[in-house]
Amino acid sequence: MEALYAFCVGLLTACGVFLTLRGRSFPVVVGITLLSYAVNLFLFSSGRLKMDGAAVLGASESYADPLPQALVLTAIVIGFAMTAFVLILAMRSRADLGNDHVDGRLPPSPKDQK
Amino acid sequence: MALIWILLLPLLGTLVPLLAANLGRSVIAFLTAIAPFIALVLLLLAAPTVFDGQILSASLSWIPSAGLNLALRLDGLAFLFALLILGIGLLIILYARYYLSSKDNMGLFYAYLILFMTAMLGIVLSGNILQLWFFWELTSISSFLLISFWSHKSEARKGARMALTITGAGGLALLAGLLLIGRIVGSYDLGEVLASGDLLREHAAYPAALILVLLGAFSKSAQFPFHFWLPHAMAAPTPVSAYLHSATMVKAGIFLMARFYPVLAGTELWFLIVSMTGLMTLLLGAYVALFKHDLKGLLAYSTISHLGLITLLLGMNTQLSTVAAVFHIINHATFKASLFMAAGIIDHESGTRDMRQLNGLWKYMPYTATLAMVAAASMAGVPLLNGFLSKEMFFAETLDQVTLGSLSWMVPVLATIGAVFSVAYSARFIHDVFFNGEPIDLPKTPHEPPRYMRVPVEILVALCLLLGVFPAYLVGPLLSQASSSVIGGQLPEYSLSIWHGFNLPLLMSLLAMLGGLAIYRNRRHLFRFQALFPEPDAKLVFEGIIQRLTGICTLVVNKLENHSLQRYIFLMLLAALVLMAGPMIDLNATKGHYSELPIDPITLVGALLLTVSALATVLLNRKRLISLIMLSVVGLLVSLAFARFSAPDLALTQLSVEVVTMILLLLALFFLPQSTPKESNPRRLVRDLSIAGLIGGVIGTINYAMITRPLDSISSFFLENSYSGGGGTNVVNVILVDFRGMDTLGEITVLGIAALGIYKLIVRMRLYMPSTNSQGLPWSPDKHPMMLGIVSQSLLPLALLVSVYIFLRGHNLPGGGFIAGLVTSVAIIQQYIAQGVDFVKERMRMDYQWVVGSGLFIALLTGLGSWIFGRPFLTSWFDYFKPPFIDKFELASAMLFDLGVYLTVVGATLMILANLGKLTTSHSPAIKEKG
């Protein structure tokens, strides 16, 4: 199970990294979202994997580690705020600059296209 | 404790001229002088103790654990310098009152001046070497402000910049040197450092420490090759030149050498470096001074030369050289400050400082001329003036030294040559300005200055005379105390009389006098010879170097920063890979000793789905909408994973966040292109795939290695104390709102700030809104289908009820403020989607900024509330109640805190989503802002 979990985290990381390396803003935001999934899963697993052991007193015999869970819970919410910020930034840069490039290239001007 | 006030009074006094800035000019000057005057009185009151040979000290503890205290120490040397700083400072205040014109901002000038005075006092009174360095840098900064006081002049700005760069760089070297000394000695306390001379000198790092400290001292005291900043600093108002560049700041380097003389001097290295630098500076300054046509330029190079003389004295290994050095510090301060002030008067009353124009001023200002001539004679070393005495001592010491071994005879010869030029430029100062025909094209008709502008000059010139005639009575005790603290022990015998009989030093003085006058008489030939050399302009060279440096930096920045996010991320990832490689290779086995959980079919299916959807997100990334849908599947599976591995709170949070994230992304996609064009070339694809694969592989491996190893966690504490200490059985929630409440407070603050930032970004957004979809079809005219509207309207109370339920049970069962807040937001967002902005706006009149604000406020107040009960911030309280008719329930202050969390989350989420959604409507915040 642990191997499977680690594989999924690695896969999400790889997918996220690949997308953040794209040249337009939207795929980068999607990539960041994937990366934040991977990071959250990674942090969560630092409490080790445990089934049927929710950290609610009296609900089970032994409990999963509640500390990484508390950490990750806030991380998810902050992650949302960050994604939103990056996304709005992307929109704003498109509004102000007229393109959604993040690769430093300027889009061909209308003159060049003719 | 009076000692602290000597430093503190001028510091407070910095504010006085600023507060008095609107009063009359004389009033400002008077008020400004009060604080330094009291400090001077306090200093003089301490004189008897200091002359007894005691060292006064005071300290205020600041960070005792780091060994940092505000430590003050007053010995003979510090007393001498403090006396010069405060005494001459007061004269300068009086002088500047008449020097500055009514157009100048006098209050500001005095504030800078007093700040500088404080900084200088801080240097000389410091009992801690790091503190000394702090004040050292403060003098650099305040002198920058003073030199650039007339900031409309380009030369003032450039001169100030140059001075700051050189002295600032020297200050950094000094810091390194002092840190090294502190490391060797094991303390930054000056007293302890001064007691560890042998330890320091025998340490292997001694040469490094010495050179670093000397770099600081030389750059500050304008020693060759750092001397060039001083002439350019003459762009400052003359009171500044008189104060900083003759009497005090340039002597800070000398002070530093004198201060550390007991511990750093005494080695071959010291004698060689210090004496040779001093000698070189002495000769260079004296020679160049003769050729300067600017009065202040002449004085500046003369100052360089005299500073070189003092440095040379400190670098000679004779018995009395330090006494001569200290004596010359006093004498130079008196005659040079008065000469600068006289030059300022001449400039002020005749409109120029150019000696080619200034001639025959004797007729116009005989009184000032007399004063200046006495001071210049003292500078030349004419008998019966103080300059003569210390120069005699200097000559005597040069004859006594053996610094250069068999070549030591060269030092007195070169010293005499320096003195010859010193006489020559002094003669020029007297003859060229006050005699030598009639003035040429002066902008103003020269006349005597206002009565009180002359007073400071009179006082200093009187001192020159008195010190020259009665040296032993006036400065005997001061000199011996100051010198003995330089040597750090008992002084040898010496005599301070004006007549030592016919001896070699007297002959040298005589030679210098005759030679100087001869050179001045025949100066025309020398000037013609000098004109053959191109005049080196330090400013051009300096600015050139600075510009070349800036150019190189720009080049490097341009190379690194090409505005491509791809490159930055790539480089960052590459760096991360390199950093991770080492530890990864050191890790022998990937798998730890933990027995793995068995894989069950359901989880396997989940993992497969996750793999497929993640890959699909990437593969279909150019079709943005589909990619987004795939992404939402990944998010869903992640929340299922949380649920599977015993984290119901996380699953709930992830699920609700997923909903708002998707709505957000969809909204954004409306304004952005619907597809990504194919741009990456195959090489780029291969590169990106490889680095993505590598990073993914590494992260996966680390994760596997981590979760297959046993864990030693602090969580048992939370599990044990959750119920007894926090009153809740849902440990995750209790950690959030109780154990780590402070962290949560920080996190919701960040959330609020992010939402506000997003709001500000949205407000000014001008976006193109497509009128058709990507296939060119128009949008459906039915924007708010009735079915959806009715269903979501009837679901709203239910959804709100659910969120209240989740909120209330959060302390004991999965749930809590974060999740409840997200659920509420989703419910309200759904109303926006189904019914439109108008509908919601009519029914919900509230600003989401206020919701965020009140949420944060409640959370903060809850935390503060515990102070009322005398407990630390955010201590929680809980109890159980049994009212009639309903079951026993619990009340906890943590619930109030959770309410704050809830409101912040609701407010932030809605502020982001609703405002973004409004962009498409007539309620767009962008329009509102415009209107």
Tell me the per-residue pLDDT of B866-881, one tens digit each, with 9 for 90 and over.
888 878 777 777 877 7
Question: B interface mutation test: which of A60, A80, A86 has the most B CBs within 10 A?
Answer: A80
| Contact check, Cβ <8 Å, B597/A51 | yes
d(CA B657, CA A36): 12
Q: If you compute the radius of gyration of chain B from its CA atoms, what whole number of angstroms results?
A: 39
Residue range B744-765: average pLDDT? Answer: 90
SS (H, E, C) B37-81: HHHHHHHHHCHHHHHCCCCEEEEEEEEHHHCEEEEEEECHHHHHH
* pLDDT at A110 (0 to 100): 54
Binned at pLDDT 50, 70 and 90, residue B916 comes out as confident
Q: What is the CATH number of the domain that holds A84?
A: 1.10.287.3510
- Residue B728's pLDDT is 85
What is the per-residue pLDDT for B464? 92
Q: Say if the Cβ atoms of B641 and A8 lie within 8 Å.
A: yes
CA distance A62 to chain B (A): 10
Distance CA B27, CA B669 (A): 68
Chain B from 732 to 771: CB within 8 A of any A CB: 732, 735-736, 740, 743-744, 747, 750-751, 754-755, 757-758, 761-762, 764-768
Which residue among A14, A33, A92 sits closest to B631, beta carbon to beta carbon?
A: A33
- pLDDT grade, residue B67 (50/70/90)? low
Mind listing the pLDDT tens digit for each residue in A69-84?
Answer: 999 998 998 999 999 9
Mean pLDDT computed over B242-257 = 90
Whether B713 and A52 lie within 8 Å, measured CB to CB: no
- Using pLDDT thresholds of 50, 70 and 90, give the confidence band for residue A38: very high
Selecting from A19, A22, A92 the residue whose C-beta is nearest the C-beta of B765 gives: A92
- pLDDT-based confidence at residue B846 (cuts at 50, 70, 90): confident
Nearest to A80 among B627, B660, B714 (CB): B660
Question: Is A56 in Cβ contact with B814 (below 8 Å)?
Answer: yes
Specify if A94 maps to a domain. yes
User: Does the beta carbon of B635 lie under 8 angstroms from any beta carbon of chain A?
Assistant: yes
Q: Which site among B732, B736, B918 would you substitute to test the A interface, given the most A Cβ atoms closer than 10 Å to its Cβ?
A: B732
Q: Is the pLDDT of residue B893 over 50?
A: yes
State pTM to two decimals.
0.69
The reply to whether A25 falls in a domain is yes
**Cβ pair A84:B758 closer than 8 A:** yes
Q: Select from B618, B750, B769 the residue whose CB has the most chain A CBs within 10 Å, as the one to mutate to test that interface.
A: B618
Q: B711: which chain A residues are within 8 Å (Cβ-Cβ)?
A: 46-48, 65
Closest C-alpha among B304, B280, B281 to residue B292: B304
Q: Evaluate whether residue A1 is within a structural domain.
A: no
Q: What is the pLDDT of residue B523?
A: 85
One-letter identity of residue B236: A
For residue B889, pLDDT over 60 is answered with: yes
Residues of B in contact with A1 (CB under 8 A): 596-600, 603
Residue indicated by tokens 């009960």: B869
- A38 within a domain of the structure (yes/no): yes
Ranking B125-129, B225-229, B801-805, B835-839 by mean pLDDT, the lowest is: B835-839
- A112: in domain: no
Shortest CA gap A108–chain B (Å): 13
| Encoded tokens for B351 | 């409109």
**Of residues B566, B729, B730, nearest to A21 (C-beta):** B566
Contact B646 A54 (CB under 8 A): yes
Question: For residues B254 and B325, what is the distance between their CA atoms, to the nearest angstrom?
Answer: 9
Answer yes or no: do B905 and A77 touch at CB < 8 A.
yes
Q: Would you call B715 an interface residue with chain A, using a CB distance cutoff of 8 Å?
A: yes
Strands in B88-154 per DSSP E: none
Which positions in chain A touch B761 (Cβ < 8 Å)? Answer: 85, 88-89, 92
Dihedral of CA atoms B596, B597, B601, B607 in degrees, nearest 10, equals -70
The answer to whether the CB atoms of B603 and A56 lie below 8 A apart is no
Model confidence at B443, pLDDT cuts 50, 70, 90, reads confident
Please give the pLDDT value at position B357.
87
Quickly list DSSP for A21-58: TSSBHHHHHHHHHHHHHHHHHHHHHTT---SS--SBTT
Q: How many distinct structural domains can be found in chain A?
A: 1
pLDDT in tens, B16-29: 998 888 888 889 99
Contact B565 A104 (CB under 8 A): yes
Phi-psi label, residue B488: left if phi above 0, alpha if psi -120 to 50, beta otherwise: left
Q: Is A95 within the bounds of a domain? A: yes
Query: A34 vs B631: CB contact, 8 Å cut-off?
Result: yes
Q: How many beta-carbon pairs under 8 angstroms link A with B?
A: 315
Concatenate the DSSP letters of all residues of B852-915 into one string: HHHHHHHHHHHHHHHHHTT--TT---EEEE--SSS--EEEEHHHHHHHHHHHHHHHHHHHHHHH
Average pLDDT, chain B: 88
- β-bridge partners, B61: B69
CB contact under 8 A, A84 and B664: yes
Nearest chain A residue to B561 by CA distance is A104
Q: HSE on the CB side for B279, CA within 13 Å?
A: 21
Q: For residue A100, is pLDDT > 60?
A: yes
Q: Which residues pair with B294 in a beta bridge?
A: B354
Residue pointed to by tokens 């890959």: B615
Q: Where are the alpha helices (DSSP H) in B221-267?
A: 229-232, 238-242, 249-259, 261-264
Residue B576 contacts A where some CB pair is shorter than 8 Å: no
Lowest mean pLDDT among B578-587, B743-752, B776-785: B776-785
CB-nearest partner of A49 from B634, B707, B731? B707
Helices (H), B672-778: 682-707, 715-726, 731-734, 741-763
Pick B653's closest partner by Cβ from A66, A77, A85. Answer: A77
Q: Is the residue at A59 inside a domain? A: no
CB contact under 8 A, A88 and B614: no
* Banded pLDDT at B216 (limits 50, 70, 90): very high
The SS3 assignment for B57 reads strand
Report yes or no: B660 at the A interface, CB cutoff 8 Å: yes
Residues contacting B555, CB < 8 A, separation 6+? none
Task: Using CA coordinates, name the residue in chain B closest to A40.
Answer: B638
- Res B436: pLDDT: 84
* Structural domain includes residue A57: no
How much is the pLDDT for B253?
A: 93
B856-868 tens-digit pLDDT: 999 999 888 888 8
At residue B379 the predicted structure's pLDDT band, cuts being 50, 70 and 90, is very high
Instruction: Tell me if residue B354 falls in helix, strand or coil.
Output: strand
pLDDT of residue B281 exceeding 80? yes
Q: Is B352 on the interface with A (CB under 8 A)?
A: no
* Range(s) of the domain holding residue A40: 6-50+64-103
Reported ipTM: the value is 0.94
